[in-house]
């Protein structure tokens, strides 16, 4: 009997710890942190490749850059959750966030957010001042410019929010090579242009939730027809980017161009279908795979 109570107690403790860990992961938006970390690592890796640097001999820089990037992203996401806690309960995809359910208090959220940002920026400044300043710009533009100002006031919020989302590869590159050559800015442009079609597609899928929360996303304000045109416009803007990344080799340019054309064709094939949400869902899924495949491809093509 006593053994049963002990086992139940242990299981309860493990379950509680697991739940708290899941809440913490939701607080820092671990999916966003992970996806941005891929782009930050790619920038870091390519900087080593193109400066003939030694990855294994610079593990201190690698650690400071990746840990710093992860921490400022996690901290910024925590602050974003704090700022949005008054509207997150309205939306299906955000109503279970720990800042909404009360599992993580507002005070603790602020503590996590600011602590992570401060430590993350210290790490980035330990690489060099350019990487640190880029981190400051990323945090300020996401937390203040986007979360506190643009998101609730302007239909252009998605484009404005694309700035901080495009900075991680620049941080990674700057940690190794603060001169930031053309290739680094191509990574920035790629990320900047990728975000509007990705988030517009998401907004189409969740349009009624955004409408209920009074967030002026493009499909809420302008409708699906206009939003689809904007998505196709931004996808088309990706087409010339690979041709400015010739140092990665012709095979990469062909590979990246094929991904871009594939996204454009997918959009065009379903453009006139009546089910706009189904079309948006396909475009959204493609955008997720596109980002992971393309940035992973950059690393692979740089070493073959």
Q: Find how far residue 49's CA is from the centre of its chain.
A: 24
Give CA 304 to chain center in angstroms: 28
Each residue of 165-201: pLDDT tens digit? 999 999 999 999 999 999 999 999 999 999 999 999 9
CA dist., res. 249 & res. 86, Å (int): 49
Q: Residue 267 and residue 271: Cα distance in Å, rounded?
A: 6
Rounded Cα distance between 243 and 256, Å, is 9
pTM for the whole thing?
A: 0.92
Coil vs helix vs strand at 23: helix
Distance CA 97, CA 89 (A): 8
Q: What is the reported pLDDT for 220?
A: 97
Give the pLDDT of residue 4.
53
Q: What's the pLDDT score for residue 8? A: 46
CA-nearest of 190, 193, 161, 2 to 77 is 161
Is the CATH number 1.10.357.140 carried by domain 21-179? yes
Mean residue pLDDT of the chain comes to 93
pLDDT < 70 positions in the chain: 1-17
Give pLDDT, residue 7: 43
Q: Which of 192, 201, 145, 204 is nearest to 167 (CA)?
A: 192
**Nearest-angstrom CA–CA distance, 144 and 163:** 12
Contacts of 25 (CB under 8 A, 6+ apart): none
Cα distances from 150 to residues 29, 57, 117, 144, 272, in angstroms, run 20, 42, 21, 9, 31
Q: Classify residue 150 by its DSSP letter.
A: I
CA distance 89 to 99: 9
Q: Please enumerate in sequence order all residues whose Cβ is within 8 A of that of 47, keeping only pairs 6 or more positions apart, or say none.
A: 53, 172, 173, 174, 175, 176, 177, 184
- The rounded distance, in Å, linking the Cα atoms of 99 and 181 is 41
| pLDDT computed for residue 172 by the predictor | 98
């Amino acid at each position: 009997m006593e053994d049963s109570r002990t086992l139940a107690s242990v299981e309860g403790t493990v379950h509680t710890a697991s739940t708290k860990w899941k809440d913490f992961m939701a607080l820092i938006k671990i999916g966003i942190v992970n996806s941005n970390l891929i782009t930050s690592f790619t920038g870091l890796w390519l900087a080593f490749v193109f400066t003939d640097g030694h990855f294994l001999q610079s593990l201190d820089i690698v650690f400071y850059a990746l840990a710093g990037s992860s921490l400022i992203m996690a901290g910024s996401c925590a602050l974003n959750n704090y700022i949005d806690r008054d509207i997150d309960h309205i939306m299906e995809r955000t109503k279970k966030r720990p800042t909404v359910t009360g599992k993580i208090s507002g005070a603790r959220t602020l503590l996590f957010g600011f602590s992570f940002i401060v430590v993350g920026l210290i790490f980035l400044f330990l690489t060099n001042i350019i990487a640190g300043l880029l981190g400051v710009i990323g945090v300020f533009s996401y937390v203040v410019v986007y979360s506190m100002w643009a998101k609730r006031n302007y239909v252009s919020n998605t484009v404005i929010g694309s700035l901080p989302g495009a900075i991680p590869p620049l941080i990674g590159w700057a940690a190794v090579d603060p001169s930031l050559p053309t290739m680094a800015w191509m990574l920035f442009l790629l990320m900047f242009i990728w975000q509007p079609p990705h988030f517009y597609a998401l907004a189409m899928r969740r349009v009624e939730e955004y409408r209920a929360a009074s967030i002026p996303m493009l499909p809420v304000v302008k409708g699906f027809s206009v939003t689809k045109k904007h998505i196709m416009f931004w996808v088309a803007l990706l087409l010339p980017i690979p041709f400015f990344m010739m140092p990665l080799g012709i095979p990469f340019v062909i590979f990246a161009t094929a991904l871009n054309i594939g996204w454009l064709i997918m959009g065009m094939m379903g453009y006139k279908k009546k089910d706009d949400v189904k079309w948006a869902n396909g475009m959204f899924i493609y955008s997720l795979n596109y980002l992971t495949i393309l940035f992973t491809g950059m690393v692979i093509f740089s070493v073959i």
